[in-house]
Amino acid sequence: MSFVLYFLPFLVDFIMGGAAIAVSLFAIFLGASPLMLGVLGFFPGIVYISLCFLFGKLSETWSRKNLVGLGLFFYILSSLILCLSSRIYQLCLSMLLIGVGAAMFWPTMEAWVAEREEKRHLAHKMGLFNASWSIGMVLGPLAGGVLFGISRKLPFYFAFFAGWVGFFILLKAASENFSAKNTTPSSKPFYPEDSIPSSYLNISRVANFTLWFSLGIVRYIFPKLATNLGMPSYLLGLLMSTLFISQTLTFYGLGLASRWQYSIYALVLFQLFALFGIGIIFGSGSFFLFFLAFVLIGAGIGMTHSSSLFHSVNTIFQRGPRVAIHETVLGTGALLGPLMGGIVAQHLGLRAPYLMACAVIGAGIIIEIFIKKLHRQKKKNIKF
Q: Give pLDDT, residue 146.
A: 87
Residue 291 main-chain phi, psi, to 5 deg: -60, -50
pLDDT, mean of residues 234-248: 88
Express each pLDDT in 140-177 by its tens digit.
887 888 898 899 899 999 999 999 999 999 888 755 54
pLDDT: which is higher, 191 or 315? 315
Whether pLDDT at 246 is above 80: yes
Domain coordinates in residue numbering, the chain? 2-172+195-383
pLDDT winner (highest mean) among 45-54, 111-120, 315-324: 45-54
Q: Give pLDDT, residue 292.
A: 97
pLDDT, mean of residues 237-264: 87
DSSP assignment of 47-96, as one string?
A: HHHHHHHHHHHHTTTS-HHHHHHHHHHHHHHHHHHHHH--SHHHHHHHHH
Whether pLDDT at 383 is above 80: no
- What is the distance between the alpha carbons of residues 66 and 80, in angstroms, rounded to a whole number? 21
Q: How confident is the model at residue 317 (pLDDT cuts 50, 70, 90)?
A: low
Contact 294, 367 (CB under 8 A): no
pLDDT, mean of residues 26-47: 84
- What is the distance between the alpha carbons of residues 286 and 168, in angstroms, rounded to a whole number? 44
- What is the distance between the alpha carbons of residues 8 and 100, in angstroms, rounded to a whole number? 17
- What is the distance between the alpha carbons of residues 40 and 24, in angstroms, rounded to a whole number? 8
- What is the distance between the alpha carbons of residues 321 and 114, in angstroms, rounded to a whole number? 13
Whether pLDDT at 14 is above 50: yes
Alpha helices of 117-182 — where are they, by DSSP H?
122-150, 154-171
Architecture of domain 2-172+195-383: Up-down Bundle (1.20)
Percent of the chain residues past pLDDT 70, beyond the cut: 89
Q: Give pLDDT, residue 128.
A: 87
Q: Give pLDDT, residue 367.
A: 96
In angstroms, the Cα distances linking 38 to 44, 86, 92, 147, 352 are 11, 19, 11, 23, 14
In angstroms, the Cα distances linking 350 to 38, 40, 42, 147 are 12, 17, 18, 26
DSSP assignment of 261-274, as one string?
A: GG-HHHHHHHHHHH
Express each pLDDT in 81-103 by its tens digit.
999 998 989 999 999 999 999 99
Whether pLDDT at 186 is above 80: no
Contact 76, 163 (CB under 8 A): yes
- What is the distance between the alpha carbons of residues 356 and 214, in angstroms, rounded to a whole number? 9
Q: Give pLDDT, residue 185.
A: 47
Within 10 angstroms of residue 256's Cβ, the number of other Cβ atoms is 9
Q: How confident is the model at residue 345 (pLDDT cuts 50, 70, 90)?
A: very high
Q: Give pLDDT, residue 192.
A: 54
The percent helix, strand, coil of the chain (3-state, each to 5) is: 85, 0, 15
| Ramachandran sector of residue 349 (left: φ over 0; alpha: ψ -120 to 50; beta: rest) | left
Q: Please indicate, yes or no, whether the overall pTM of this predicted structure exceeds 0.85.
A: no
